[in-house]
């Protein structure tokens, strides 16, 4: 077993998942303002520290994706954030892309930037304690999209990123996200997601990536947010599993789904059904942001000093998703 493979398995084994706390300052500002909290470095740290020091971290959260600001912050107990995460046997990670910009010659699509200077940034993040990274490519579905240009450009960037990350002895999370925006059917989502993931792995293989030291972070197969042809959770599970079985090489140790606009309960229920039906060798877990944090954030916003209450809300969601990652969740457990 390679060092990279053992890191990937540590993050995802035994029902553990990933807390995606890598919101940029702009995104975090929107989240905080939505609950009438001023977005300051202190407030952003205070909320995240509450989550990272909660009791569910050691049992449920195998890894935490951080943002550049957060990985460099010191906690109120004088540990830096990566030390706090390591102290509960979780693995610190870092988002390293610099965001999606308009793709030249295809103005309705995006290309993710951040390769310039990445090698040096990775060395710095490794010294700070990061042992895995994340890079997100985004694709929208319409009759014309995603175009071959967008699929190729983002897959190529994900492969170049992965090569640099593994060179630095870290595990790359590869996130090719086919967005829920639009009125497309689940079948459209299945077709486009399959095409995107297949192309992504073709590029990873051509860049000589060690697939045993990669985590895939895909979307589930869902109808578009504006579609009137929503499908049942059982169908979501069936199509998602078929897509991944047909598209992902067997060497990949684990898949950590993004929640991508689903509600907290939807994201948990769909993950649970995927694991009930999982007839592959892949670990199927979660890498959720809003679907792990939203209820905790709402609770915290009512009283910033109520850390214990905030942690209680977060612990519940983390436990529910860890049950789902083992196919052991039920609606009754929510109460």
Catalytic annotation, residues: 175, 217
Q: Which residue has the tokens 């990670």?
A: 93
Number of helices (H), then strands (E), in the chain = 13, 10
CB atoms within 10 A of CB 117: 9
What contacts 288, CB < 8 A, 6 or more positions away? Answer: 17, 18, 19, 20, 257, 258, 259, 267, 321
Q: Which residue has the tokens 């990985």?
A: 71
Decide: 101 and 150 in contact? Cβ < 8 Å. Answer: no
Q: Rounded distance, CA 234 to CA 150, Å? A: 31
Decide: 202 and 152 in contact? Cβ < 8 Å. Answer: no
Show the tokens assigned to 301.
Answer: 């916003």
Rounded to a whole number, what is the distance in angstroms from the first to the last CA of the chain? Answer: 41
Query: CA neighbours within 13 Å on the CB side: how many for 290?
Result: 16
Show the tokens assigned to 215.
Answer: 């985590």
Please, where are the H alpha helices in 36-80?
41-52, 56-60, 68-71
Show the tokens assigned to 124.
Answer: 């710095």
Decide: 183 and 144 in contact? Cβ < 8 Å. Answer: no
Q: Rounded distance, CA 99 to CA 111, Å? A: 8
Decide: 137 and 101 in contact? Cβ < 8 Å. Answer: no
């Amino acid at each position: 077993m390679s060092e990279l493979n053992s890191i990937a398995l540590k993050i995802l084994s035994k029902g553990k998942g990933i807390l995606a706390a890598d919101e940029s300052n702009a995104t975090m500002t929107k989240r905080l303002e939505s609950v009438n909290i001023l977005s300051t470095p202190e407030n952003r740290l205070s909320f995240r520290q509450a989550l990272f020091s909660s009791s569910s971290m050691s049992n449920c959260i195998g890894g935490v994706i951080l943002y550049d600001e957060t990985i460099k912050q010191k906690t109120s107990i004088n540990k830096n954030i990566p030390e706090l995460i390591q102290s509960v046997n979780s693995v610190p990670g870092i988002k390293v892309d610099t965001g999606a910009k308009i793709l030249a010659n295809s103005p309705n699509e995006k290309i993710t930037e951040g390769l310039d200077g990445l090698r040096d940034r990775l060395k710095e993040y490794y010294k700070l304690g990061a042992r895995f990274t994340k890079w997100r490519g985004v694709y929208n579905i319409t009759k014309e999209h995603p175009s071959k240009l967008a699929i190729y450009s983002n897959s190529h960037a994900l492969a170049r990123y992965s090569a640099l990350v593994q060179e630095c002895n870290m595990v790359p999370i590869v996130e090719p996200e086919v967005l829920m925006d639009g009125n497309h059917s689940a079948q459209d989502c299945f077709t486009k997601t399959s095409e995107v993931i297949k192309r992504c792995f073709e590029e990873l293989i051509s860049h000589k990536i060690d697939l045993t030291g990669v985590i895939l972070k895909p979307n589930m197969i869902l109808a578009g947010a504006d579609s009137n042809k929503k499908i049942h959770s059982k169908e979501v599970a069936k199509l998602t599993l078929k897509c991944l079985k047909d598209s992902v090489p067997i060497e990949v140790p684990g898949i950590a789904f993004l929640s991508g606009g689903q509600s907290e309960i939807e994201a948990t229920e769909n993950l649970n059904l995927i694991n009930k039906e999982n007839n592959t060798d892949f670990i199927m877990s979660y890498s959720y942001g809003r679907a792990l944090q939203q209820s905790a954030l709402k609770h915290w916003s009512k009283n910033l000093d109520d850390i214990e209450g905030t942690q209680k809300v977060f612990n519940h969601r983390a436990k529910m998703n860890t049950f789902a990652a083992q196919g052991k969740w039920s609606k009754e457990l929510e109460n």
